[in-house]
C-alpha cells in the first residue's frame, strides 16, 4: 500500500505544484473506526492533496457511528459552514441515506466535492476455510444456512449486509434468515474473520487488500465487479465468472457541509480536479485495486442522484427503509 501511495503522490506532485491552497486547518473525517474503507478514503485524499496544497498534512480524524450517520448529522447540523473539513463517503453512505438512516436528511443536504475512486465488493473467508471457490461457499449455504455466519461493517440494510443478502439469495436462502454479525466498520469485521468469529466477510476490495498486505490471513473467493479487476486482484475471479451475477461497485469520495462558502468549496473541487488529471493517478489507483472515477462538483452531484435512485429501488426490493 505504501508503494502505491508514494507513486500517487509523486505523479500528482510533478503535474500540480501550483495548485491552490486549501482552507486552513484542513482535515478529513473518517466516519468509522480506523482500518476500514473510510480510513482508506481519507488516506487517498491526503495523498492527492499534499501535492495540490503544499504544507497541508490533511490529518484523519475518526467519528464512528451509524456507518456515516454520526458524521453526516454533525456536519449538517453542527458544522454546516466548516470549510476545513471534508468527510469520506462510500456507496454504503448513499445506501443508508436512501433508507432514511441519516434522519430526515437527503443527498441534497451536503455539497459533494470529489469522487476519488471506484472500489468493488468482495466475498472473503479465512485462508484455512474449507471453501476454495464461491460455488463451494454457495453449496455450503444451501446445505446448512445456520452453519455460515457473515460478518461485515454495518447493520441490516448496510451495503455489506446487502452483498451478503445478494449472495444468500443466489444460494436460495432468504435474507431474513441468513446469519449476520454487524461491526462498526470493515476493520473490525476483518478482525472477527481472522479470529474465526465469523466464517465469511462481505467487504470491500481496497480495504481487504490493505489488511492482506499487513498479514491478515484472508482468502478472497470473488470480486463483485462486472469484469475481473487488475493489479492485486488480477487472479481473483468475479462472482459473475463463477455463475453468480452479483455486482457491487463502491464509489469512494468526500463531501463538505451545506453552508461552506462557494470560494472554499471551489478550492476543494479545483484541488481534486487537478490531482485527478494526471495519468499516474489512474495507475496508482489500479495498483491499489481501485478504478478511476474522476468526477467533482456538479458532475459528482449528478452521479450521486443517479446512485440514489438505484439504492432507493434496491432498498424497496429488500423491504428496507421508508415506504
Residue 53: pLDDT above 80?
no
Which CATH number is 120-233's, of 3.40.50.1580, 3.40.190.10, 3.90.1010.10, 3.40.640.10?
3.40.190.10
Cell numbers placing 179: 446469519
User: Which region, left, alpha or beta, applies to residue 201 given φ > 0 means left and ψ of -120 to 50 means alpha?
Assistant: beta
What are the residue ranges of helices labelled H in 29-90?
37-52, 69-73
pLDDT category at 323 given cuts 50, 70, 90 is low
Query: How would you label 60-76 residue by residue, b for 16+ Cβ within 10 Å and e otherwise?
Result: bebbbebbbbbbbbbbb
pLDDT category at 8 given cuts 50, 70, 90 is very low
Residue 13: pLDDT above 60?
no
Lowest mean pLDDT among 19-33, 75-89, 194-208, 215-229: 19-33
Q: What is the C-alpha separation between 308 and 296, in angstroms, rounded?
A: 17
pTM over 0.85? The answer is: no
Can you tell me the mean pLDDT for 251-267? 96
**What's the pLDDT at 81?**
98
The label of the residue with cell 480495504 reads 207
Query: How would you label 247-286 residue by residue, b for 16+ Cβ within 10 Å and e otherwise?
Result: bbebbbbbbbbeebeeebbebbbbbbbbbbebebbbebbb
Residue 141: pLDDT above 90?
yes
Residue 272: pLDDT above 80?
yes
Residue 211: pLDDT above 90?
no
pLDDT category at 76 given cuts 50, 70, 90 is very high
Domains 2-118+249-317 and 120-233 share a fold: yes
Alpha carbon separation from 253 to 74, 119, 187, 250, 258 (Å, rounded): 18, 11, 19, 10, 16
**What's the pLDDT at 178?**
94
User: What stretch of H or E contains 139?
Assistant: helix 134-143
Nearest to 36 by CA among 223, 256, 200, 183: 183
Nearest to 58 by CA among 27, 13, 30: 27
**What's the pLDDT at 22?**
80
230 CB burial (10 A radius; 0-12, 13-18, 19+): exposed
Residue 3: pLDDT above 90?
no
Q: What is the C-alpha separation between 196 and 198, in angstroms, rounded?
A: 5
Quote the DSSP letter at residue 103.
T
CATH number of 2-118+249-317: 3.40.190.150
Domain ranges of the chain: 2-118+249-317, 120-233
**What's the pLDDT at 293?**
85
Q: What is the C-alpha separation between 95 and 97, in angstroms, rounded?
A: 5
Amino acid at each position: 500500500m505504501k508503494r502505491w501511495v508514494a507513486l500517487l503522490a509523486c505523479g500528482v506532485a510533478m503535474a500540480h505544484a501550483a495548485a491552490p491552497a486549501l482552507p486552513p486547518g484542513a482535515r478529513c473525517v473518517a466516519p468509522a473506526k480506523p482500518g476500514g474503507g473510510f480510513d482508506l478514503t481519507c488516506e487517498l485524499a491526503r495523498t492527492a492533496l499534499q501535492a495540490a496544497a503544499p504544507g497541508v498534512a490533511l490529518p484523519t480524524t475518526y467519528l464512528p457511528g451509524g456507518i456515516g450517520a454520526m458524521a453526516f448529522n454533525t456536519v449538517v447540523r453542527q458544522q454546516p459552514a466548516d470549510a476545513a473539513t471534508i468527510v469520506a463517503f462510500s456507496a454504503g453512505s448513499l445506501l443508508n441515506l436512501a433508507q432514511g438512516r441519516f434522519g430526515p436528511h437527503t443527498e441534497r443536504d451536503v455539497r459533494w466535492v470529489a469522487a476519488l475512486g471506484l472500489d468493488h465488493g468482495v466475498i472473503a473467508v479465512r485462508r484455512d476455510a474449507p471453501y476454495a471457490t464461491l460455488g463451494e461457499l454457495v453449496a455450503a449455504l444451501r446445505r446448512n444456512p445456520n452453519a455460515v455466519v457473515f460478518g461485515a461493517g454495518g447493520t441490516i440494510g448496510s451495503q455489506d449486509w446487502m452483498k451478503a443478502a445478494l449472495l444468500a439469495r443466489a444460494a436460495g436462502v432468504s435474507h431474513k434468515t441468513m446469519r449476520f454479525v454487524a461491526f462498526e466498520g470493515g476493520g473490525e469485521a476483518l478482525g472477527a474473520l481472522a479470529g474465526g468469529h465469523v466464517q465469511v466477510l462481505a467487504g470491500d476490495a481496497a480495504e481487504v487488500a490493505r489488511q492482506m498486505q499487513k498479514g491478515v490471513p484472508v482468502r478472497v473467493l470473488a470480486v463483485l465487479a462486472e469484469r475481473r479487476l487488475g493489479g492485486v486482484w488480477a487472479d481473483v475471479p468475479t462472482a459473475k465468472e463463477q455463475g453468480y451475477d452479483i455486482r457491487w461497485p463502491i464509489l469512494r469520495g468526500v463531501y463538505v457541509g451545506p453552508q461552506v462558502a462557494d470560494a472554499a468549496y471551489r478550492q476543494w473541487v479545483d484541488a481534486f480536479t487537478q490531482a485527478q488529471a494526471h495519468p499516474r493517478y489512474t495507475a496508482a489507483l489500479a495498483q491499489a485495486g481501485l478504478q478511476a472515477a474522476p468526477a467533482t462538483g456538479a458532475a459528482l452531484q449528478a452521479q450521486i442522484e443517479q446512485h440514489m435512485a438505484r439504492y432507493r429501488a434496491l432498498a424497496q426490493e429488500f423491504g428496507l427503509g421508508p415506504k
